[in-house]
Amino acid sequence: TQLLEQSPQFLSIQEGENLTVYCNSSSVFSSLQWYRQEPGEGPVLLVTVVTGGEVKKLKRLTFQFGDARKDSSLHITAAQPGDTGLYLCAGAQWNNDMRFGAGTRLTVKP
């Protein structure tokens, strides 16, 4: 079993719709990061959240870190085809061991 569980695993929506992706764990993390990965490339960092309850916004993307620092969510408003990709969450443990979820593969259709 994964240390970080992401849901849904796959998501296909129409352009303009809103969506939320979840990242859950029973473990506490010192920080949590979200990455986006395009086919044939390595993951690229979107955001890092550190404080329990923290909310960060990046244009149409809103990231939230749970109060207990065990879970996080990514909300995209008015999705666009350019948002298509694999979204990965990663939790940093206290020994700097970074663990990743399996990812959510998002497809936004024009």
Interface residues with another protein (CB under 8 A)? 2, 6, 30-31, 33, 40-45, 48, 50, 88, 90, 92, 94-103
Residue 16 beta carbon to another protein: minimum distance, rounded to whole angstroms? 29
3 state SS for 29-96: CCEEEEEEECCCCCCEEEEEECCCCCEEEECCEEEEECCCCCEEEEEECCCCHHHCEEEEEEEECCCC
The residue among 58 and 78 lying less far from another protein, judged by its C-beta, is: 58
Residue 20 beta carbon to another protein: minimum distance, rounded to whole angstroms? 19
Residue 21 beta carbon to another protein: minimum distance, rounded to whole angstroms? 13
